Structure 1
Amino acid sequence: MSTLRILHTSDWHLGQSFFTQTRQVEHEQFIDWLLFTVEAEKVDAVIIAGDIFDTGSPPSYAREMYARFVARLQEKDCQLVVLGGNHDSVSMLNESQPVLEYLNTQVIASTGIALDKQIVNIKNKEGNIAAIVCAVPFIRPKDVIESQAGQTPDEKSRAMSKAISDHYHLIHQEAKKRRNQLNVDVPIIATGHLTAVGATLSDSVRDIYIGTLEAFHADGFPDVDYIALGHIHRPQKVAGKEHIRYCGSPIPLAFDEVNTQKQVVLVEFEGATRQQITPIDIPVFQAMATLRCSLDELEEQIKAIPSVKDNIPTWLSIEIQTQDYLSDLQSRVQEIVAEYPVDILQLRRARQAQSPALKQEKNETLSDLSPEEVFEKRLAMEVFEGDASQALLERIKKRFTAALSEVITGEAES
């Protein structure tokens, strides 16, 4: 009976710029660790479930890092399956796909290809077919559905959800047909790059819509032996099911991920039977911390940060709690931290510090305000600093405008 070990990872986001800081060193250290783990755990195949790159036009060093990883992985006698994510460029991933096939690597950038090209045979180290993968990348609406005029947003969401489910079940049927043709008793694995209902997001996860569908229900997945998901950066099970998992990103991509233990997931099979699923913790390659305190408490909190290895400064997000507006806040904080091995990447004031300037006028009520004014006043209570926060603000504004337009249109029709 053949054995198989598959390592599930995702959301590398090679080339990411984090508050102007490059992640190149962290990614190189992660790849070194991953290759060591592949060898130590005798892994037969690695699945990267989307977002290998951070943008559709990654910097050249990120593309070189990807190419070197593929080459070095083959030294470990290990197969690689790469799925396209919503951050990845389909054309860029496809341009190297024919060459990578000769390096035991299958790249599935989109679902806009023949169905049999989305089914991958996985071989173990003995060269035997030990699993079949329904290799589903990020699904773009144009690849699975035709838009219909006159549909409401709810109807579009239901149609999109059904189209995704239909695609999964269709490819699952094809995978079972291939398994019968090959006359092998092996597991069937599926992949995906989407938001599943109930998944816990983080600040670094870009809101992902497939058409108008915000989240896909786990009931829409086919009955397979393991589902390797990407897009969500926190490792977690989906719908409480052991075999449907997000492995999460290998490094924190936002400060609210700092306290999340990063993982890859090792899945072991004996014949067609899943033996066990084992999360493997990833080391921390760059010290990061979030501090929330007053100016008087800041130095003590910095002293409490664990020692930094190799004299690499700790990246900090600092939120200062003060009742007074301090125009020289940045310079005062810099003066406090000057003697410590830290880099401040994000500095903001606590929300309550802004409240005196944002109070409503004495006699102002909701009935005196337009929906737009209420929305703007509520936004004014939040803090949006940095590129990521500004991008989030723009998405919130777009959602509000769309929702308000829908309400107004509905009232007019009634």
Structure 2
Amino acid sequence: MKVVHTSDWHLGQQFYEHNRYEEHQAFLNWLAKELVEVDADLLVVSGDIYHTATPPATAEQQLYAFIKHVKVVSPHLHIVIIAGNHDSANRIETAKPLLQQFDTHVVGKYDKHAPEEVVKLINTRCGAVQVVAMPFLRSADMAQVDGDESGYALAVQQAYQSAYEQISDKSLPVITLGHLHAKGGDISTDSERNITIGGFDSIHADVFGDTPDYVALGHLHKAQKVANNEAIRYSGTPFPMSFSERNYKHQILLIEFSGKQVREVTPRFVPRHKQVILLPEKGGATLDELCQNIEGLELPTDEEVPKPYLRLRLNANETDSQFRHKIEQALAGKRVHFCGIERVSQVTDNEDTPLFEDLSKVNDLAPLTLLELAYKEQIDKESALPQELQACLETVLVALNEQGEL
């Protein structure tokens, strides 16, 4: 049996205000061909199908058109999709009756009173497989969560255990899906969002237990193994979600089973549809240096080749008040999607890591950190933030996420 693992498509996302529809469609077209080439039996998508809880209609149409097309070119293929933290659980669930006609199973939410609903028995041409399709877990979805890290991890573990108890035939291979931050995983802070407060969504790989033969994870954008385990993996995003991800090796994963045994896991690298350019690669540059670098860019002249994304890093101590005008002049006639300018200052002469003086970085501040600062400033500088306030913040964040406001 051949299984393809992918995640974090983020359909509907705009990249610095540039529409990515064409880029997303290029990936979906490539994926359909890959599924045929590897002769896949099962496709699992581990969350964040969409970029927001209220995606544009074009993004939903892309997903449904892909499923319809792939069932034509690979009629034996089965598909399992779970909701991620960017997705609306209700929106994902709404399409369930329709998608079942295309051998596609979608799970938007986990009901602690009906754990059997996340367990899917898939009958492929190579035999049956049990898929534990666990979507992104919010505290409200699970049993009582204590106000600490171990409490959240225990609740997640109990959710998985409750699902495993619904598996009737233990002789079949088990594939477990999840959308979460496993401890030790490399995170892209520019584009990955943690909405469970306190960092409690970072949990140990032990929560998956010994039942699954392969764990297909989503949420972290870099393809990687978890706990150095070949059978617990993030597939990562199929394209960069930020400039910090420009050097990622974007891929899908092909998992080949022999019975319950994972025989081999092979990355299938996704071709880069649009290049992502950061000038300079490290640190900042003077205005003159930036203009020279722009002039020296080797850009595609063929109108059929997509324009690359370009973002510039200007030294923070640059004093020329005409810098924007001069950069615009340097960019005139260049076939690029311009993604703005970052003001950069070095901590020390030997420091490679820049500090970004960019107002957009305010979005990176954790809501819990802001609440803690406000509490100490306005209420009690000596005491820790009460658990009740943390719980209230989590409720608000979850509600905003469902409404697409985060």
TM-score by length of structure 1 reads: 0.82
Aligned pairs (5 A) from 1:114-263:
114-125=114-125, 128-129=127-128, 131-146=129-144, 153-154=147-148, 157-175=149-167, 178-180=168-170, 185-202=171-188, 203-209=190-196, 213-223=200-210, 224-263=212-251
- The C-alpha deviation readout for 1:373-412, integer Å capped at 9, x for no partner, is xxxxxxxx742344xx332146475255268478622599
- SS of the aligned residue for 2:43 comes to strand
Aligned match of 1:79: 78
2:58 pairs with 1:68: no
Q: Matched residue pairs, number?
A: 366
- SS of the aligned residue for 2:134 comes to coil
2:383 pairs with 1:383: no
- Which letter maps to 1:107? V
Aligned pairs (5 A) from 1:101-116:
101-112=100-111, 114-116=114-116
| Separation in structure 1 between the aligned mates of residue 222 and residue 186 of structure 2, nearest angstrom | 7
Shift of 1:209: 1.7
Q: 1:121 to 1:306 in 2, by over 3 A?
A: farther
Aligned match of 1:347: 341
| Separation in structure 1 between the aligned mates of residue 371 and residue 278 of structure 2, nearest angstrom | 29
Q: 1:306 to 1:164 in 2, by over 3 A?
A: farther
Aligned match of 1:15: 12
| Separation in structure 1 between the aligned mates of residue 57 and residue 9 of structure 2, nearest angstrom | 16
TM-score by length of structure 2 reads: 0.84
Q: 1:87 to 1:40 in 2, by over 3 A?
A: same
Aligned match of 1:57: 54
2:325 pairs with 1:313: no
- Which letter maps to 1:295? L
| Separation in structure 1 between the aligned mates of residue 68 and residue 375 of structure 2, nearest angstrom | 48
- The C-alpha deviation readout for 1:308-362, integer Å capped at 9, x for no partner, is 3624322111101263323222111111222432232121221259xxxxxxxxx
- SS of the aligned residue for 1:32 comes to helix
Q: 1:14 to 1:410 in 2, by over 3 A?
A: closer
Are the equivalent residues in 2 in contact too, given 1:194–1:208 (CA < 8 A)? no
Aligned-pair Cα RMSD in Å: 2.4
Shift of 1:306: 5.2
2:288 pairs with 1:296: yes
Aligned match of 2:25: 28
- SS of the aligned residue for 1:123 comes to strand
Instruction: Return 237-246 or 306-315, whichever deviates more.
Output: 306-315
Query: Rg larger in 1 or in 2?
Result: 1
Are the equivalent residues in 1 in contact too, given 2:187–2:221 (CA < 8 A)? yes
Are the equivalent residues in 2 in contact too, given 1:50–1:230 (CA < 8 A)? yes
- SS of the aligned residue for 1:409 comes to coil
- Which letter maps to 1:88? D
Are the equivalent residues in 1 in contact too, given 2:317–2:345 (CA < 8 A)? no
The alignment-based identity, stated in percent, is: 30
| Separation in structure 1 between the aligned mates of residue 322 and residue 266 of structure 2, nearest angstrom | 50
Are the equivalent residues in 1 in contact too, given 2:343–2:356 (CA < 8 A)? no
Aligned match of 1:94: 93
Aligned pairs (5 A) from 1:348-367:
348-352=342-346
Instruction: Return 88-97 or 333-342, whichever deviates more.
Output: 333-342
Shift of 1:12: 0.6
| Separation in structure 1 between the aligned mates of residue 43 and residue 295 of structure 2, nearest angstrom | 40
- Which letter maps to 2:382? I
- SS of the aligned residue for 2:169 comes to helix
Are the equivalent residues in 2 in contact too, given 1:7–1:43 (CA < 8 A)? yes
- SS of the aligned residue for 1:205 comes to coil
Are the equivalent residues in 1 in contact too, given 2:287–2:318 (CA < 8 A)? no
Shift of 1:117: 1.6
| Separation in structure 2 between the aligned mates of residue 39 and residue 50 of structure 1, nearest angstrom | 22
Q: 1:397 to 1:116 in 2, by over 3 A?
A: closer
Are the equivalent residues in 1 in contact too, given 2:223–2:233 (CA < 8 A)? yes
| Separation in structure 2 between the aligned mates of residue 391 and residue 117 of structure 1, nearest angstrom | 36
- SS of the aligned residue for 2:178 comes to strand
- The C-alpha deviation readout for 1:60-111, integer Å capped at 9, x for no partner, is 1011111111111211121110101111111111111011111101011111
Are the equivalent residues in 1 in contact too, given 2:291–2:327 (CA < 8 A)? no
- Which letter maps to 1:294? T
- SS of the aligned residue for 1:66 comes to helix
Q: 1:335 to 1:45 in 2, by over 3 A?
A: same
| Separation in structure 2 between the aligned mates of residue 324 and residue 298 of structure 1, nearest angstrom | 11
